[in-house]
Amino acid sequence: KQEVTQIPAALSVPEGENLVLNCSFTDSAIYNLQWFRQDPGKGLTSLLLIQSSQREQTSGRLNASLDKSSGRSTLYIAASQPGDSATYLCAVRHNSGAGSYQLTFGKGTKLSVIP
Amino acid sequence: ETGVTQSPTHLIKTRGQQVTLRCSSQSGHNTVSWYQQALGQGPQFIFQYYREEENGRGNFPPRFSGLQFPNYSSELNVNALELDDSALYLCASSWTGTDTQYFGPGTRLTVL
């Protein structure tokens, strides 16, 4: 059974600081890994998706890396802003078959960026 | 704007009642997944529908059931509600051949 763990559970940083969020998974047979953002009481917004054959993806101030063999991913946020305050969730997809989009999520890291 | 909508936004039920939650996917999306997210937890996969048939299920009892309609809208039905069913219920839709899933804003269910 796949298990996804995110460390730390919560993080508070001053504005402008660079930060790293960690995600680990127990079964390396994944199809892809995604990082999501969730604002309080809201749905999920996909930030970055890394295929199992890729090592990293970048979007603006965000960079996600994937080391499938060791079961780890990191999300790097550069020059953090108060608007980045949210919960960040890591999720792995197991299969690539038609209609097989099941994701296993971690519990998330709650990020607070202090002005 | 993802185009995935869910209704209602919030609702309150009492233990033992039944509830139906609705999701309207983006046009052309033929796969819909439902997730349960308890407070402080990550979303848990309930089940998935592909071309109107269930084709994957997580560790949820049979009192959780669903439907997907030809217009790619879907329903999640929960019978005999329990207090632990209180959660945010999320649906996500996608199109076969792509990797992107679009999540709706969720329905907050409170069971008293």
Judge contact between B93 and B5, C-beta under 8 A. no
Half-sphere exposure of A100 (CA within 13 A, CB side): 10
What local confidence, expressed as pLDDT, does residue A79 receive? 97
Structure tokens at A27: 């079964």
- Give the contacts of B46 (CB within 8 A, at least 6 positions apart): B33, B34, B35, B36, B57, B58, B60, B64, B66, B76
Task: Using CA atoms of A38, A43, A46, A50 in order, give the dihedral in degrees to the nearest 10.
Answer: 90
Per-residue pLDDT of chain A in tens (115 residues, 90 and over written 9): 899 999 999 999 999 999 999 999 999 889 999 999 999 888 899 999 999 999 999 999 999 999 999 999 999 999 999 999 999 999 999 876 655 788 999 999 999 999 9
Question: Band of the pLDDT at B96, cuts 50, 70, 90?
Answer: confident
Q: How far apart are CA B105 and CA A84, in angstroms?
A: 19
Judge contact between A91 and A43, C-beta under 8 A. no
- Quick check: B2 pLDDT over 80? no
User: Tens digit of pLDDT for each residue in B35-61?
Assistant: 999 999 999 999 999 888 998 899 999
Indicate the pairing of strand A19-25 with strand B5-7.
Answer: unpaired
DSSP at A82: G
Judge contact between A94 and A31, C-beta under 8 A. yes
Instruction: Say yes or no for a CB contact (<8 Å) between B45 and A98.
Output: no
What is the percent of chain B with per-residue pLDDT over 70, rounded to a whole number?
A: 97
Q: Is the CB of A107 inside 8 Å of chain B's CB atoms? A: yes
Which residue of B40, B45, B104 is in closest CB contact with A103? B45
Q: Which helix (H) or strand (E) holds A8?
A: none
What local confidence, expressed as pLDDT, does residue B55 receive? 87
What local confidence, expressed as pLDDT, does residue A82 receive? 97
Question: Band of the pLDDT at B13, cuts 50, 70, 90?
Answer: very high
B66, with CB counted inside 10 A (0-12, 13-18, 19+), is: buried
- Chains A and B form CB pairs within 8 A to the count of 69
Instruction: Say yes or no for a CB contact (<8 Å) between B44 and A99.
Output: no
What local confidence, expressed as pLDDT, does residue B1 receive? 46
What local confidence, expressed as pLDDT, does residue B89 receive? 97
CA distance A42 to chain B (A): 5
Which residue of B33, B90, B105 is in closest CB contact with A102? B33
B97, with CB counted inside 10 A (0-12, 13-18, 19+), is: exposed
Judge contact between B21 and B9, C-beta under 8 A. no
Judge contact between B11 and B107, C-beta under 8 A. yes
